Amino acid sequence: MARLPDAFAEFESFAEKWCLPTEAERWATRMATPMSEIREFYDAFTPRFEEAIDYCDKFPLDDLPEDVLNLLHLVYSMIMVSMAVEVFGTQKPADSADAVMNRVSAPVP
């Protein structure tokens, strides 16, 4: 069963792992995923990242179809992994000891 809009079907292989509704889930997944897999997702999605944002922007945030919400979650995951790829070169921020992310509230959607 497709989780993403047809226009982004090429990313279905990433959907199960990266279409995560909360920042804490995205952080935990980033920390638990080997850099080779993070890089694979990053390299595949980067060329269409802006297009995905534009696609999501066509819908009101308070009434996103489920496939578009999943695409938005994929965008959020891309933001989370981009720091690992572009800045740190590893899942874990440098010199961060046991970095965790504790958010008391999260933006919706």
pTM, rounded to two decimals: 0.86
DSSP summary character for residue 57: T
| Average pLDDT score over the chain | 90
Kindly report, residue by residue over 26-65, the tens digit of the pLDDT: 999 999 999 999 999 999 999 999 999 999 999 999 999 9
Banded pLDDT at 92 (limits 50, 70, 90): confident
95 falls within a domain? no
Q: Which domain holds residue 66?
A: 10-87
**Higher-scoring residue by pLDDT: 87, 65:** 65
49 falls within a domain? yes
94 falls within a domain? no
Neighbours of 84 (CB within 10 A): 20
Domains: count for the chain: 1
- Provide the pLDDT for residue 55: 98
46 falls within a domain? yes
65 falls within a domain? yes
93 falls within a domain? no
103 falls within a domain? no
Residue 38's nearest CA partner among 30, 50, 49 is 30
Distance CA 28, CA 102 (A): 11
57 falls within a domain? yes
Residue 56's nearest CA partner among 101, 19, 16 is 19
- Provide the pLDDT for residue 66: 97
